[in-house]
């Protein structure tokens, strides 16, 4: 309670700073308008269909990319993780591909899809995929070896083993992967829109920049930040929800 | 990885022949799939005749002339220099502020929501704003990297400092460790798992921002070159740039892992001992 | 009752009271504690669990400010961890720095004290030798067993050459055999170094076996029930001492006191 109040005070202090600093002449107020002006510009753009269209586009790209990456990452992780030979064989390739920055693909994406949504989607899927895959692999590796041996000695079928044994252990990891992927996917969505010019909030920011509309530019940056906060918070909430009934968590709280 | 070291530990007992076979098998596992993929790329791209996917042979042939005739010094080094400067500054700033905030619970509660907001801003959108203040020079690019990379370091440092066992602080007080010693031996070392986690996230963000800031506005750099090639439809050259960027990412992550291994050896050992549970 | 003459009194606790929290939710952990120890004495403190033993120890160590009353060491009021004091905590795994080796853990306080390098090396080697860990100076604490980790903590305290050593249930989490070994180790070190030792435990046998005096505490809110003098021979060993009829008599007496303390607690609860 006290912490929440302190946090609110922190936000208030920050906004106050943002409002007063431009008036003091410490910075050029052409580059940093007072907060009230940013808010007004944001209010103006919130009245336009263009803004809502862009927000919708951003969310659609983000959601599609995240869903594709999560499905692909989980499937690949379960298969690769469950077969030791496959895991050994792919380890070096994964370690090689994972650190390649997604932005390296921007030129290729532009050539292939121009300024279509797919161009950004490639970046989003590529970067979010690794987050999910790495977590799922770690989850499958975490399956209790005793349980695994038991399952093997009872000659469980593959499907039964995957559903009853591997997936429950992997689930918390997959959810963590989802959370990490959600925020990475948002970053890459906005980045793609900003650099490539695919439709969305990122492109609005690029337009505001080139037209010298400083206050609206700040307004849009604030929107992307708030969007990021919402994504982070809801992903964390989802993680807690899913994991609440999970035995690994229940044990911990019961102890 | 532990299984690998365990395996190497038993090799001296084996005969030379089985040792060679063993290493051979490991090498095959390590390089098998990459070799297959490269061969596949080679063959498919050779036959496809797709403009966007030029033959791998052509890309490799183009690699030397494209990069070793001056571009390495003119584009790659400036990029890496800005990356190093921005990343180092972000680490310094993030750890310093993180320790400051992490050791003061009230300050942490005060600052956390604002910091969470800054972390949530997709880092590239800071480029247009920072360009307003700093133009398009080297300073802007370095500051862009700092502006994105500092948050994960800062917030993970705060978490790391918070996670230090209170009994260690008590021990430090009982033995009257001086503030500077406490900072160095207790706080920084104790928070190092958090700091390293933040530093890892920050590294990939920093690489992204290095490229992006050059794509926006620049007259040299890796990102600048790749975009130039793309705009001039110099496809093989563009691909060499993508490969080079991938190699840079790989190399930096390898260096990072080596450092992490050294810094966090105690942490891994402790975790393993705890997981073993017998103690 | 042992009366301490003021001339060689080292540690003095007068009217110590500690209340956690404030308002209606406040709990009184320690009500009124008064006792003193002479220099070179070994005093054990026992009491039922939850008797505020740890609170008392933390107040003496200067880690916790008392609500009222006073702790003095050498007639100087204790307001923070004083010079010349070492503490061995119950939770060995958490009180050693996991990123430092055994030798570095022992060495760190010495370096802060400004001890010269050669002297430090000697102290570290001697203290590790004294606790039987001469062969693992370069291991990390988490590579050792629980009993060995607690030995490292003891070595660290011993190398520090404190005038007074506080031990807070140091052997609560080690197995019985290790525990007996460590008890003899502590007796031995106390003899050799001539330090003052304050030993908190919930184990009555341990308290009588180790101490010259045993302070029996009541249940929460804590007062001193009785200050028992242990009139056993100075040389003690696990077998003869523990079979000494006098040991049994003392044990029965202290046991009775602790039971009484627990009943007092039950009575208070029933009344509340």
Same domain as B7, residue B140: no
Report the domain count for chain B: 2
Subunits with 3+ Cβ pairs within 8 Å of C are: B
CB contact under 8 A, C98 and B173: no
The pairing of beta strand C9-20 with beta strand C68-73: antiparallel
Q: What topology does CATH give the domain A56-254? A: MetI-like fold (1.10.3720)
Does the N-terminal peptide bond of residue A112 adopt cis geometry, omega within 30 degrees of 0?
no
Same domain as B158, residue B44: no
* pLDDT tens per residue across span A87-97: 888 888 888 78
CB contact under 8 A, C112 and B279: no
pLDDT per residue rounded down to tens, chain B (279 residues): 333 333 344 445 567 788 888 888 888 877 888 888 888 888 888 887 777 788 888 888 888 888 888 788 888 999 999 999 999 999 999 999 999 999 998 999 999 999 999 999 999 999 888 888 888 888 899 999 999 999 999 999 999 999 898 899 999 999 999 999 999 999 999 999 999 999 998 998 999 899 988 887 778 888 888 888 888 888 888 889 888 888 888 889 889 999 999 999 888 888 888 776 543
Distance CA B12, CA B1 (A): 19
Whether residue B24 is contained in a domain is answered as: yes
Same domain as B65, residue B43: no
Domains in chain C (CATH in brackets) are: 1-78+198-253 (3.40.50.300)
Whether residue B55 is contained in a domain is answered as: no
> For position B128, which CATH number holds?
1.10.3720.10
Backbone dihedral region of C164: left (phi > 0), alpha (psi from -120 to 50 degrees) or beta?
beta
Same domain as B158, residue B235: yes
Mean pLDDT over residues C188-207, rounded?
Answer: 89
By a Cβ cutoff of 8 Å, what residues of chain B touch chain C? 165, 167-168, 170-171, 173-178, 181, 185-186, 189-190, 192, 266-267, 269-270, 273-274, 279
pLDDT of residue C23 exceeding 80, the answer is no
The pair of structure tokens assigned to A134 is: 């790495």
Q: What are phi and psi of C229, to 5 degrees?
A: -85, 130
Closest by CA position to A200, among listed A118, A106, A135, A113: A118
pLDDT of residue A41 exceeding 70, the answer is yes
- pTM confidence score: 0.84
CA dihedral A72, A74, A75, A79 (to 10 degrees): 130
C138 reaches B (C-beta below 8 A): no
Confidence (pLDDT) at B219: 81
Confidence (pLDDT) at C3: 47
Distance CA A62, CA A65 (A): 5
What domain range is B117 assigned to?
Answer: 61-276
Closest by CA position to A123, among listed A75, A190, A70, A180: A190
Mean pLDDT over residues C181-206, rounded?
Answer: 88
Q: Residue C246 in contact with residue C55, Cβ under 8 Å?
A: no
CB contact under 8 A, B167 and C142: no
Sheet holding C76-77, edge to edge: C76-77, C68-73, C9-20, C27-38, C222-229, C213-217, C42-46, C196-200, C164-168, C85-88
Same domain as B77, residue B32: no
* pLDDT tens per residue across span A105-156: 888 888 888 888 899 999 999 999 999 999 999 888 877 767 667 766 666 6
Distance CA B204, CA C38 (A): 62
Whether residue B97 is contained in a domain is answered as: yes
Q: Give A-chain residues touching B36 at CB under 8 angstroms.
A: none
Confidence of residue C182 (pLDDT cuts 50, 70, 90): confident
Confidence of residue A162 (pLDDT cuts 50, 70, 90): low
**Domain extent listing, chain A:** 56-254
Choosing among B110, B122, B152, B200, which should be mutated to test the A contact, i.e. which has the most A CBs within 10 A? B122
Above pLDDT 70, what percent of chain C? Answer: 94
Whether residue B56 is contained in a domain is answered as: no
Same domain as B201, residue B171: yes
In terms of C-beta distances under 8 Å and separation of at least 24 residues, what long-range contacts does A87-96 make, across chains too?
A87/A137, A88/B29, A89/B29, A89/B32, A89/B33, A90/B33, A91/B29, A91/B30, A92/B29, A92/B30, A92/B31, A92/B33, A92/B34, A93/B33, A93/B34, A93/B37, A94/A133, A94/A134, A96/B34, A96/B250
CB pairs under 8 A between B and C: 71
Distance CA A194, CA A216 (A): 15
Same domain as B157, residue B32: no
Find the closest chain A residue to B200 by CA distance: A99
Q: Residue A121 in contact with residue A65, Cβ under 8 Å?
A: yes
C108 reaches B (C-beta below 8 A): yes
Mean pLDDT over residues A52-79, rounded?
Answer: 94
Above pLDDT 90, what percent of chain C? Answer: 26
Residue B221, SS3 per DSSP: coil
Distance CA B127, CA B130 (A): 5
For tokens 């740890």, what's the residue? C54
Q: Give B-chain residues touching A195 at CB under 8 angstroms.
A: 124, 212, 215-216
Min Cα–Cα distance to chain A from B167, Å: 22
pLDDT of residue A251 exceeding 60, the answer is no
ipTM, two decimals = 0.85
Find the closest chain A residue to B105 by CA distance: A3
Chains A/C: 3 or more C-beta pairs closer than 8 A? no
């Amino acid at each position: 309670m006290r912490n929440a109040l302190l946090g609110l005070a922190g936000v208030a202090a920050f906004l106050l700073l943002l409002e007063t600093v431009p008036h003091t002449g410490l910075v050029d107020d052409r580059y940093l308008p007072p907060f009230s002006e940013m808010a007004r510009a944001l209010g103006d753009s919130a009245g336009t269909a263009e803004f809502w269209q862009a927000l919708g586009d951003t969310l659609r790209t983000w959601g599609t990319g995240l869903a594709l990456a999560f499905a692909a990452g989980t499937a690949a992780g379960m298969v690769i993780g469950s077969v030791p030979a496959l895991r050994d064989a792919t380890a070096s390739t994964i370690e090689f591909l994972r650190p390649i920055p997604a932005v390296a693909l921007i030129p290729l994406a532009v050539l292939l899809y121009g300024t279509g949504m797919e161009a950004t989607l490639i970046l989003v899927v590529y970067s979010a995929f690794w987050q999910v895959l790495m977590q799922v692999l770690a989850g499958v590796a975490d399956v209790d070896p005793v349980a695994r041996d038991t399952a093997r000695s009872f000659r469980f079928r593959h499907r039964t083993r995957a559903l009853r044994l591997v997936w429950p252990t992997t689930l918390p990891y997959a959810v963590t992967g989802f959370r990490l992927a959600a925020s990475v996917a948002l970053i890459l969505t906005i980045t793609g829109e900003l650099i490539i010019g695919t439709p969305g909030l990122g492109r609005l920011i690029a337009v505001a920049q080139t037209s010298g509309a400083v206050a609206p530019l700040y307004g849009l940056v604030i929107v992307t930040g708030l969007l990021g906060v919402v994504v982070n918070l809801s992903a964390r909430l989802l993680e807690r929800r899913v994991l609440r009934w999970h035995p690994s968590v229940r044990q911990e709280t019961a102890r | 990885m532990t299984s690998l070291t365990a395996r190497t530990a038993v090799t001296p007992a084996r005969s030379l022949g089985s040792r060679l076979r063993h290493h051979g098998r490991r090498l095959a596992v390590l390089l098998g799939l990459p070799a297959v993929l490269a061969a596949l790329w080679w063959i498919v791209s050779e036959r496809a005749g797709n403009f966007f996917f030029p033959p791998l042979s052509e890309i490799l042939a183009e690699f030397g002339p494209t990069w070793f005739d001056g571009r390495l010094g003119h584009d790659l080094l400036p990029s890496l220099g800005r990356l190093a400067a921005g990343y180092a500054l972000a680490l310094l700033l993030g750890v310093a502020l993180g320790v400051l905030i992490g050791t003061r619970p009230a300050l942490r509660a005060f600052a956390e929501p604002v910091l969470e907001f800054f972390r949530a801003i997709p880092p590239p959108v800071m480029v247009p704003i920072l360009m307003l203040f700093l133009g398009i020079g080297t300073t802007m690019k370095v500051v862009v990297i700092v502006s994105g990379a500092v948050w994960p370091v800062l917030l993970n440092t705060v978490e790391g400092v918070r996670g230090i066992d209170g009994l260690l602080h008590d021990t430090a007080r009982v033995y009257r460790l001086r503030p500077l010693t406490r900072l160095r031996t207790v706080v920084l070392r104790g928070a190092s798992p958090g700091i390293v986690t933040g530093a890892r996230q920050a590294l990939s963000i920093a690489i992204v921002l290095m490229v992006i800031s050059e794509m926006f506005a620049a007259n040299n750099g890796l990102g600048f070159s790749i975009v130039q090639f793309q705009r001039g439809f110099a496809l093989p050259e563009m691909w060499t740039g993508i490969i080079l960027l991938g190699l840079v990412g790989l190399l930096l992550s390898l260096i990072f892992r080596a450092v992490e291994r050294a810094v966090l050896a105690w942490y891994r050992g402790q975790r393993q001992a705890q997981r073993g549970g017998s103690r | 009752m042992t009366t301490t003459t003021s001339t060689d009194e080292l540690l003095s606790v007068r009217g110590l009271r500690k209340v956690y929290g404030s308002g209606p939710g406040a709990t009184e952990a320690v009500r009124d504690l008064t006792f003193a120890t002479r220099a070179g004495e070994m005093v054990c403190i026992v009491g039922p669990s939850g008797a505020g033993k740890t609170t008392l120890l933390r107040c003496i160590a200067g880690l916790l400010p008392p609500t009222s009353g006073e702790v003095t060491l050498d007639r100087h009021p204790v307001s923070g961890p004083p010079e010349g004091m070492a503490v061995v905590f119950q939770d060995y795994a958490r009180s050693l720095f996991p990123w430092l080796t055994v030798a570095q853990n022992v060495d760190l306080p010495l370096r802060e004290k400004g001890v010269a390098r050669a002297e430090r090396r000697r102290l570290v080697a001697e203290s590790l030798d004294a606790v039987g860990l001469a062969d693992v100076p370069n291991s990390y604490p988490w590579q050792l067993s629980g009993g060995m980790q607690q030995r490292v903590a003891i070595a660290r305290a011993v190398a520090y050459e404190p005038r007074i050593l506080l031990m807070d249930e140091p052997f609560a989490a080690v197995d019985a055999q290790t525990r007996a070994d460590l008890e003899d180790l502590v007796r031995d070190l106390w003899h050799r170094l001539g330090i003052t030792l304050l030993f908190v435990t919930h184990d009555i046998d341990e308290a009588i076996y180790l101490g010259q005096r045993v302070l029996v505490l009541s249940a929460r809110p804590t007062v001193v029930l009785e200050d028992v003098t242990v009139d056993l021979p100075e040389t003690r060993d696990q077998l003869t001492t523990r079979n000494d009829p006098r040991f049994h008599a003392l044990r029965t007496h202290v046991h009775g006191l602790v039971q009484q303390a627990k009943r007092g607690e039950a009575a208070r609860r029933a009344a509340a």
